[in-house]
Every structure is written in C-alpha cells, then in structure tokens.
Amino acid sequence: MSKHTPPPKQLSFAAYEFSRKKRVTRREKFLAEMERVVPWERLEAVIEPLYPSAGRVGRQPIGVSRMLRMYCLQQWFGLSDEGLEDAIYDSQAMRGFIGIDLARESVPDATTLLKFRRLLEEHQLTASIFGEINAHLAERGLLLREGTMVDATIIEAPPSTKNQEKARDPEMHQTKKGNAWHFGMKAHIGADADSGLVHSVLATAANESDVAHIHEVLHGDESVVFVDAGYKGVEKRPEIVAAQESGEIRREIAWHVAQPRSTIKKMPDGPAKDIRRALERVKAQVRARVEHPFRVVKNLFRHRKTRYKGLAKNAAQLFSLFGLANLVIAKRRLMGLNSCRREASA
C-alpha cells in the first residue's frame, strides 16, 4: 500500500444503501474494471518521489492514490476541474472509486486537482505514466514490437477570439481536410500492428504534415509498417533515411502504404486489378486497428477538443489519454490474465 493511501474505513449508511441496490450501472461496471486493470502501484511509484510530503501547518496533503484516481476520472469522463468536483459530489460510484465518504470528509476541490495536474505537466510525469502502462502491458505479452501502424487525427481547438488576448491559440493552426477547414492540433500515434495498443504519441499543430513526423512515432525495432495513402513516398523521406543511418531505426522496414482508390479505379479490369483490390483489402483490415485508440479517446473519453492552451499541456494530456485507452482496449485480456494468476496462486 502507498504511504499516502488512507486506511480502509467503515461504510456509512448512505454508502451501504448504495452498495445494496439491485442494478449495477455502466459507470460502476467501468470503474470496477479499471480498478482491476490499472497498475495503480506502478503509477503511484512514478509520482510519489515528486509529490509534496507536507502541506501548510496542520494540513496534510491528499494522498497520491486518491489524486491519481481523481485525475483518471477526469480523463475517462472528459470533465473540467470544477466539473469533476461536482460530479464526485453527485456520484456515489465515483466517491467509492476514490475512497471518499461524505459523512466524514469533503471532496478535494478543483484547485487541488489543478495543482496535481500541473505537477504532472511540470515533471513530464504523464509520459512516464504512459511508459509504465506500456511496460505493464509488455510484461504480460500484450505489446509486441514486430509491426507498427501509424496514423494521425485532428483535435479541434476553440477558434474564438473572445478572450483576454483577443486572439486564437498561437500554437494551434488551421488545416484543410477534404473540403472542410479545421483549427487545432494533431495527435500522431504509432500502434502495435498485432494488438492495436499505442506505443508512441506525438503532438503537433494541425498544419504539420503527417509523413514528416512518422520517424518520431516508430520505436525502431519494427520490421513492417502500415500507413494510409497520405504517407506515400515515406521510405524516401530524409527523416527516415537519417534515422536509418544513425541507427535510430535498427531494422529494415517493409512499408505497406495504401494505394489511393482513384489509382486502383483507373486500372483496367482483369486479374491484376482484382489482386490489387484484394491486397488493399488486407492492408485496410490490418490498418483499421489503428482507429481503435482514436475511437476510445474521442468517443468514450469525449476528448474531441483541446481543453488547455498551448501544445505542451495538451501533449501531456495525450500521453495520459492514450495510456488509459490502451488499458481499455486490453482490459478483457488483462482481466483474464489476472484471473488465471489468482487461480494459480490459490
């Protein structure tokens, strides 16, 4: 148990009545699953050396365990600092997950969560949390290193100029996708071709080219890479050539780049066209797994717009989001492994 983890307490009457209800809500089920699959002790060990051990005179800091759970709730449910404080007061499921009994104590306020998040940002601890989660998955054989899928998605930023500076965020930029213009940033990821779990994350302005940053989301040990048609000519990029020459990319890579539909459509009908279509279908089936982390982050975690100003803060949040998304994607396999270990030790 963490040195900051509070001792277990007896249930109040309200908490007892809630635990006796007949229906388990989806939120309760999700939080119970996350309680089982998140490597809490490993993540707390990353934060504890930099966490304050004493507050103002007569006031002890809130434990790392409790603050980490609050921070995870914020990422999972897409809430602001104030919104999370209100949600915890409203939800017995959230209070039970954190370990708060309103009969004995109050909910940590929004300012406390803000300070905790700033601590994570200042010391790049979200990247360390992402790394610890992936190490946990790799130790259980869920994160392999043979193949990588690379993709990027646009995350919108508020375009309004109704603020103190009378200007949009200068670190966000505008880009055109299809026939629509978007203002914001890009999240570039490298994901395991077998499991779909994210092993690399990079944040850039939305107008940055996807292919110009592909070398930054490769781990260097992959032998095959799957990308969409926007990465055409990737093997000839100076960044890739330089990474190969420096040893950053340690193996010869087989690049599987999707062909544009227009190119295949222009081919004359016949066996060659049929073979090309079948090959592209196989590529697409593999590459489809890279969309799963984006779906979790944008649809389940509701992170469709940037919450903070500047790339640094939003990049720090991306590490947390994709690390937690990995646990959601792998939760069934993780819970199965945990059950097998419990049975083996029994």
The predicted structure's pLDDT at residue 55: 56
Return the percentage of the chain with pLDDT > 90, whole number: 76
Q: What is the pLDDT of residues 184-233, one digit of tens each?
A: 999 999 999 999 999 999 999 999 999 999 999 999 999 999 999 999 99
For residue 288, the SS3 value is helix
Return the percentage of the chain with pLDDT > 70, whole number: 89
Compare 294 and 160 and report the one with higher pLDDT.
294
Compare 288 and 8 and report the one with higher pLDDT.
288
Confidence of residue 160 (pLDDT cuts 50, 70, 90): confident
Q: What is the pLDDT of residues 277-300, one digit of tens each?
A: 999 999 999 999 999 999 999 999
Q: What is the pLDDT of residues 296-336, one digit of tens each?
A: 999 999 999 999 999 999 999 999 999 999 999 999 999 98
Q: What is the pLDDT of residues 90-149, one digit of tens each?
A: 999 999 999 999 988 899 999 999 999 999 999 999 999 999 999 999 999 999 889 999
Q: Where are the alpha helices (DSSP H) in the chain?
A: 13-19, 26-37, 40-47, 64-77, 81-90, 92-98, 110-122, 125-139, 238-246, 261-265, 271-287, 291-295, 311-329, 331-345
Comparing CA positions, the residue from 192, 230, 198 lying closest to residue 211 is 230
Q: Is the pLDDT at 12 greater than 70, yes or no?
A: no
The predicted structure's pLDDT at residue 336: 85
For the ranges 54-68, 242-256, 257-271, which has the lowest average pLDDT? 54-68
Contact between 235 and 255 under an 8 Å Cβ cutoff? The reply is yes
Tokens matching residue 257: 């780049």
Question: Distances in Å between the alpha carbon of 215 and those of 208, 212, 256?
Answer: 14, 8, 15
Q: Is the pLDDT at 4 greater than 90, yes or no?
A: no
Contact between 286 and 226 under an 8 Å Cβ cutoff? The reply is yes
The predicted structure's pLDDT at residue 194: 93
Question: Taking all residues of the chain, what is their mean pLDDT, rounded to a whole number?
Answer: 90
The predicted structure's pLDDT at residue 144: 87
Question: Distances in Å between the alpha carbon of 287 and those of 86, 223, 258, 281?
Answer: 40, 15, 9, 10
Q: What are the structural domains of the chain? A: 13-123 (no CATH), 145-336 (3.30.420)
Q: Is the pLDDT at 1 greater than 70, yes or no?
A: no
